[in-house]
């Protein structure tokens, strides 16, 4: 999802500003254009969009634009990725979520994406009815790796952290779970994280989120 967005955004910024920004924008975002992937531990992995926009504005100023000029460039070029158009499920999500919910388990989402695109994505994938609670970047809760998102979700659902598992594809996901005192942290490689980045924080690292079926 992120690769196309990072490339499109960077092209737009260069065209609107007349500056050579590509290398610095990719470095700031944590995006590797050679392989077309977000870098494990980079900002694309776990940074709210509002913060990425602020960092992009700072980068434009660092390259010589005034604050007003940087704001005008962003006004014409900044856009959030469209997960409905870009996201692709890696397995049959309904089968996966039915299995996870077996035995009375509840499912919650803690994401650094904003609420509107998160809601649209869940609806487009047909799984919004499987999710019991959601905390998003624009809900005013301290983001990952702080434990606040997990603690808020546990409070809403009436489930103690010690009876909770966190599944994530980035180190901040798992660090959030550890800080919240959850029972288990599972890393999945169907995302931005690498095994080396996830293993120190995980009870287990799975090749795919689909491997949760039957776990």
What the block records as the tokens of 201 is 């924080």
Task: Please check the confidence at residue 193 and state whether its pLDDT lies above 90.
Answer: no
At 172 the pLDDT is 92
At 133 the pLDDT is 98
At 45 the pLDDT is 74
29-52 burial, b for 16+ CB within 10 Å, e for fewer? Answer: bbbbeeeebbbbbbbbbbbbbeeb
Beta strands (DSSP E) in 36-154 are 37-38, 108-110, 133-135
What's the chain's average pLDDT?
92
What the block records as the tokens of 166 is 């966190």
Task: Please check the confidence at residue 134 and state whether its pLDDT lies above 80.
Answer: yes
Stretch 148-168: mean pLDDT: 97
Stretch 40-44: mean pLDDT: 80
At 86 the pLDDT is 75
**All domains in the chain, ordered by first residue:** 2-81 (no CATH), 86-212 (3.40.50.1000)
Please name which of 91, 113, 141, 109 lies closest in space to residue 45, comparing C-alpha atoms.
Answer: 113
At 83 the pLDDT is 75
103-140 burial, b for 16+ CB within 10 Å, e for fewer? Answer: eeebebebbbbbeebbeebbeebebeebeebbbbbeee
Q: 98-123 pLDDT, tens per residue?
A: 999 998 999 999 998 889 989 999 99
At 75 the pLDDT is 95
Q: Which residues share a beta bridge with 166?
A: 185
Contact 109, 130 (CB under 8 A): no
What the block records as the tokens of 165 is 């598992």
More confident of the two residues 15 and 41: 15
**pLDDT band, residue 88 (cuts 50/70/90):** confident
d(CA 196, CA 100): 26
**pLDDT band, residue 138 (cuts 50/70/90):** very high
d(CA 15, CA 132): 43
């Amino acid at each position: 999802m992120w690769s196309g967005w990072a490339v499109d955004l960077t092209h737009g910024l260069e065209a609107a500003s007349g500056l050579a920004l590509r290398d610095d924008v990719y470095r700031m975002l944590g995006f590797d254009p050679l392989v077309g992937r977000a870098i494990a531990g980079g900002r694309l992995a776990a940074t709210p969009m509002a913060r990425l926009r602020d960092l992009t504005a700072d980068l434009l100023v660092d390259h010589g634009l005034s604050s007003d000029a940087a704001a005008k460039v962003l006004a014409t070029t900044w856009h959030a990725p469209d997960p409905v158009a870009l996201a692709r499920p890696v397995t049959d999500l309904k089968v996966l979520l039915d299995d996870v919910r077996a035995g009375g388990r509840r499912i919650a989402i803690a994401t650094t994406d904003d609420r509107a695109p998160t809601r649209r994505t869940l609806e487009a994938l047909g799984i919004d009815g499987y999710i019991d609670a959601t905390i998003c970047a624009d809900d005013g809760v301290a983001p990952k790796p702080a434990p606040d998102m997990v603690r808020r979700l546990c409070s809403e659902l009436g489930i103690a952290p010690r009876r909770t598992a966190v599944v994530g594809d980035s180190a901040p996901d798992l660090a959030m779970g550890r800080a919240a005192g959850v029972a288990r942290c599972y890393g999945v490689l169907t995302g931005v994280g690498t095994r080396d980045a996830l293993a120190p924080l995980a009870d287990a690292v799975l090749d795919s989120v689909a491997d949760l079926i039957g776990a």
